[in-house]
Structure 1
Amino acid sequence: MFMFKNLKSDLPASIVVFFVALPLCLGIALASGAPLFSGLIAGIIGGIIVGGLSGSRVGVSGPAAGLAAIVLTAIGSLGGYENFLVAVVLGGIIQLVFGFLKAGIIGYYFPSSVIKGMLTGIGIIIILKQIPHFFGYDAEPEGADSFIEASGENTFSAIFNIFDNIAVGPTVVGLISLGILLLWSNVLVKKGKFFEVIQGPLVAVAVGIIFYVVTQTNDALAISPAHLVSVPVPDSFDSFLGQFSFPNFSAITNPAIWVTAFTIALVASLETLLCVEATDKLDPEKSVTPTNRELLAQGTGNIISGLIGGLPITQVIVRSSANIQSNAKTKMSAILHGFLLLISVILIPTLLNKIPLSVLAAILLIVGYKLAKPALFAKMYKLGWKQSIPFFVTVAGIVFTDLLVGIGLGLAVGIVVILLKSYQNSHFLHIEDNSNGKHKIKMSLAEEVTFFNKGAILKELDSLPRDTYLEFDVTKTRYLDYDIIEILEDFAFKAKERNIDIKLISKRGIVENPDSFIEFFKLRPKSKISLS
């Protein structure tokens, strides 16, 4: 009953997500080389089943473009779509295993700068991919999440070809829809409750349908079927049931199916965990999604989707961000969008096929802009290079390659930054005035010192001049690798040759010119210690 308390917010949000999800489900299925209906199945299961089981307040699941290339290749290599469905079911089972093994914690090990870069990169991709659709150039069916070249084109070539392929009708209704959306969100929503309950995207879609019907006899403004949503229209109940496919479990002994299943489980789980992290950051209420529960929900969804002919499912940022921006309050919004997909493909497929794609493009342009606001670039730049470099590398990687490669590049840069700062922050070197003809130098080790710090410490110790008085302070150090102790042990030997006096300061006491650091710390070879 708690979820129904927020129905006045969740229902309008679910309608927006429904209109965003519908063309994506169809486009991703087309780009995957799978039956169009399989994308709708995945969207329905992602909304109703995964939405119900998930612990995410505002996350929305469905077919993801990040898996389209894997699906396209697998269908051909495994000998047909029915064989591929076996891999989807097995992939779901593997995800359940991941969930029971508590593998969901992996999602928390991605730096904030990389997550923000992922959101921004996806926002830019959404904008770039929807520009051609906005002007009525629909050669690329997939649309929103990646650079799938199903039509032989990529995103940039499609944009460059707009000028030779602008369709007047779709462009006009796209501009009208964009105007409605901007007017609704910036002006009308502040005028009264009516404009909060009835969302701008719903009005834009209704105007788009009316525009299509009214202009059919106008040669200049008429919108051809190529520029409309394309939902399969069954002739009868039997033909509707005939759109479902079922896995061929006799192929389960094929090793290639197991390889594909593991690939699907790994990629889908990673994309889901990254989306969960990003969605939680976008959530105004800053909810924390239980990641292991999310893996269990996704695994269950993929098992059911595979059993009835659907594509693999992940949580997806485009639909999730649209859900958040539409002020969804609970996961009922995601569940309702799944029911809307189900009801629409059964009852009103003909009406849905009157929606111009340019109207949906206008909705997604707003979503993309909110994810990639110019102010965010300035903010990340001002935070300094440690935050800005991983952010910009992630954005560029996603825009010019794909989602996983971009995230991988950003993560790699983030790790390099961590190692560099760890190298720099392993110790503090303070040089004081001469004492009895010797340079007095105080070196304090950080709280945690690992083998990453070997180079920095070794460099400082080797650069100490002869006739130095060194105070070596480890009072704040709580953790040391044995590798560091070995460096100190070697230095103690060399210090005698270079007339360097050492004063070792720790919570265990003060020692002048220790013969052995290993004995002082009572270490065993190749071990790690905690100092107390």
Structure 2
Amino acid sequence: MGGLDTSTIVGDFKGGFVSFLVAVPLCLGIALASGAPLFSGIIAGVVGGLVVGIFSRSALSISGPEAGLIMVVLSAMEALGSFQAVLLATCLAGIIQIGLGFAKAGIISNFFPTSVIKGMLAGIGIILIIKQLPHLVGYDADSAEAIILFPTSGVDIIDQFGQALNQINTGAVLISAVALAVLILWERPVFKAHPLLKNIPAALIVVVLGIAMNGLFKSAFPQWALRDGHLVQLPVPENLAGFLGLVTFPDFGQFTNPQVYLSAIAIALVASLEALLAIEATDELDPLKRKTPTNQELKAQGIGNLASGLVGGIPITSIIVRSSISINAGARTKRAALIHGSLLLICVITLPAVLNQIPWAALASILLVTGYKLARVRVFRQLYQQGKTKFLPFITTILAILLTDLLTGIFVGMLVGIFFILLDSYQHGYQVQTRTEKGVEHYQIMLGNHVTFLHKAGLVQVLRDLPENAIVEIDGTQAAFIDPDVMEAIENFRQTAQMRNIRLLFIQKFRDAEPQPVSRANGLRNKLIPTMNK
């Protein structure tokens, strides 16, 4: 955890305090966007800071509810029909994550193509943007939380936007406009480089301005003032007993529901992947360049989700945004995460009335910008410039998420990514070069590094199409692995080549029945084994 010197303690407190300020509106906003009770977002933030903070070996990572989990929670809510069942799925997801940690699955993120991961984040960002648009104009009806792009029943997104435009609230529009302006300006170099302003989170400014503007409307322009459903509506407990009474518990009667386990797998997959990616990014930002044990992190995240589900919180994961803010504010040990969680707990117990003054329009603005950061235009441009093997899995993942759900979208994107991996392997399994010398056709077939059964059909076709009286050289000096099926096809061709008056030159030995490991292949390289078919 680092030394107990004063400078470290001060830096950790600053990091924990600033990340706490960011966490309050985001915990509420993510719970809102997830269709979950608002209080569940705060509970998740507390668990992420305290529980995961205790068990994680990451020096600087901060966990809590994150935008990337919004769609998976929404999907679970729709499939299970109750928040209590979602809590059970969250508990089971935590158990799955703990199991993944013991199974040493910390390298799982390495098996996901970068293009699919970016597509997942971009798809989440696009849906996050779409879901916030009604709130920006003051349409805060419950139905706005259920916006889906292609519903099988009910009100579709076009009707939702039509209802929103027919119920525009001037006060909400003004608050949204100011909030978006602040969020955009805060990204400008003049603000990011300012010695004072750079340490003040834009989300905090937006929340304070939203509360102040609505207070002004109440006194000077009452027709614009936002009330009731247009504001955060957290329960206000009178004492600790009242606070504990707000806790929601899982519906353990859903243990026999197969859909609970499917939702748990989806939550565990997305939460684990995001946590591992965030941990990797946080370690890169660490001034001391410490490395987090990824398997232990999966266990810590699993314990956190198990605890969050048991006490009524939405799923959690490691969050790069809050972690980076904490680091920039001076945090150097995990004390910052513990301070972050403690301040959240104190705030929700002592200041719920203040939180209930926050307009949804302000939170929607924060979430809209968060969604844009996940789906920046430059990400689309970069993937497009990298070619179809990167862009098509990326765009397919996005479209599949928009058309179906998050887990299906990732699965479809993975299939497309695997297809291009196989295609690339197929295309680089061998190369054919031709030349003509003294009227005789010479063919050189150079085998690649890894020649599998996928290349057999193409190679057999090449050998079958060779003209009579040709000279053919098969070069396997670069091959570290040759599948037995491919070797058998070459041997079959050798036996029939004499009938077509084809002369063969082999570079590398192909008559072994088993594939050549790298060490043996290296030993055979540069040995010319000529075989003339008379």
Q: TM-score, normalised by structure 1?
A: 0.83
Q: Which of 8, 11, 20 is the matching residue for 2:14? A: 8
* CA contact 1:438–1:469 (8 Å) conserved in 2: yes
Partner Cα distance (1:152, 1:315) in 2: 32
- Residue 23 of structure 2 is matched in structure 1 by 17
Aligned-pair CA distance for 1:418: 1.0
User: Secondary structure, in 3 states, of the residue corresponding to 2:433?
Assistant: strand
Aligned-pair CA distance for 1:26: 4.9
Partner Cα distance (2:292, 2:147) in 1: 23
- Residue 513 of structure 1 is matched in structure 2 by none
Superposition pairs of residues 54-93 of structure 1, within 5 angstroms: 54-55=56-57, 57-58=60-61, 60-62=63-65, 64-65=69-70, 66-71=72-77, 73-74=79-80, 81=84, 88-93=90-95
| Aligned residue identity for 1:263 | L
* CA contact 2:47–2:308 (8 Å) conserved in 1: yes
- Residue 300 of structure 2 is matched in structure 1 by 297
Percent identity between the two aligned chains? 36
* CA contact 2:175–2:210 (8 Å) conserved in 1: yes
* Backbone CA RMSD of aligned residues: 3.4
- Residue 46 of structure 1 is matched in structure 2 by 48
* CA displacement 1:111-165 (0-9 Å, x = unmatched): 111122222222222222222212111235786998798x955655433433212
Partner Cα distance (2:144, 2:302) in 1: 24
Partner Cα distance (2:301, 2:76) in 1: 18
- Residue 111 of structure 1 is matched in structure 2 by 113
| Aligned residue identity for 1:196 | K
Question: Where does structure 1 lack aligned partners over 5 or more consecutive residues?
Answer: 509-516
- Residue 461 of structure 1 is matched in structure 2 by 463
Q: How many residues align?
A: 502
Partner Cα distance (1:353, 1:452) in 2: 62
| Aligned residue identity for 2:398 | V
* CA displacement 1:361-405 (0-9 Å, x = unmatched): 222232223332222222221111111111221222233433222
Partner Cα distance (1:178, 1:125) in 2: 18
**Residues 232 and 458 of structure 1, relative CA distance in 2, 3 Å threshold:** farther
* CA contact 1:117–1:392 (8 Å) conserved in 2: yes
* CA contact 2:432–2:445 (8 Å) conserved in 1: yes
Partner Cα distance (2:304, 2:148) in 1: 23
- Residue 284 of structure 2 is matched in structure 1 by 285
* CA displacement 1:12-37 (0-9 Å, x = unmatched): 23311332112323553xx35xx654
* CA contact 1:107–1:270 (8 Å) conserved in 2: no
| Aligned residue identity for 2:460 | L
Aligned-pair CA distance for 1:427: 0.7
Partner Cα distance (1:431, 1:286) in 2: 52
Question: Where does structure 2 lack aligned partners over 5 or more consecutive residues?
Answer: 3-7, 523-534
* CA displacement 1:58-112 (0-9 Å, x = unmatched): 4533373313433554466xxx94x876665454333322210112322211111
User: Secondary structure, in 3 states, of the residue corresponding to 1:161?
Assistant: helix
* CA displacement 1:226-279 (0-9 Å, x = unmatched): 111121212443322222245677x5xx8616x466435422221023313543
* CA displacement 1:155-208 (0-9 Å, x = unmatched): 554334332121111111111122223333326525632212222221221121
Partner Cα distance (1:310, 1:11) in 2: 21
User: Secondary structure, in 3 states, of the residue corresponding to 1:103?
Assistant: coil
Partner Cα distance (1:387, 1:481) in 2: 28
Q: Which of 330, 348, 365 is the matching residue for 1:345? A: 348
Partner Cα distance (1:100, 1:141) in 2: 42
User: Secondary structure, in 3 states, of the residue corresponding to 1:503?
Assistant: strand
Partner Cα distance (2:203, 2:129) in 1: 17
Partner Cα distance (2:469, 2:109) in 1: 52
Partner Cα distance (2:80, 2:499) in 1: 67
Superposition pairs of residues 256-335 of structure 1, within 5 angstroms: 256=256, 259=258, 262-276=261-275, 278-279=277-278, 285=284, 290-311=293-314, 313-315=315-317, 320-321=320-321, 324=324, 327=328, 334-335=337-338
- Residue 198 of structure 2 is matched in structure 1 by 196
**Residues 7 and 145 of structure 1, relative CA distance in 2, 3 Å threshold:** farther
Superposition pairs of residues 105-504 of structure 1, within 5 angstroms: 105-140=107-142, 153=155, 157-186=159-188, 189=191, 192-217=194-219, 218-246=221-249, 256=256, 259=258, 262-276=261-275, 278-279=277-278, 285=284, 290-311=293-314, 313-315=315-317, 320-321=320-321, 324=324, 327=328, 334-434=337-437, 437-504=439-506
* CA contact 1:40–1:310 (8 Å) conserved in 2: yes
| Aligned residue identity for 2:46 | I
* CA contact 2:80–2:260 (8 Å) conserved in 1: no
* CA contact 1:146–1:403 (8 Å) conserved in 2: no
* CA contact 1:51–1:335 (8 Å) conserved in 2: yes
My pick for the range that moved more, 16-25 or 480-489, is 16-25
My pick for the range that moved more, 5-14 or 457-466, is 5-14
Q: TM-score, normalised by structure 2?
A: 0.83
| Aligned residue identity for 2:270 | E
Partner Cα distance (1:190, 1:245) in 2: 40
Partner Cα distance (2:15, 2:38) in 1: 31
| Aligned residue identity for 1:168 | T
Partner Cα distance (1:353, 1:501) in 2: 86
Partner Cα distance (2:242, 2:354) in 1: 19
**Residues 51 and 101 of structure 1, relative CA distance in 2, 3 Å threshold:** same
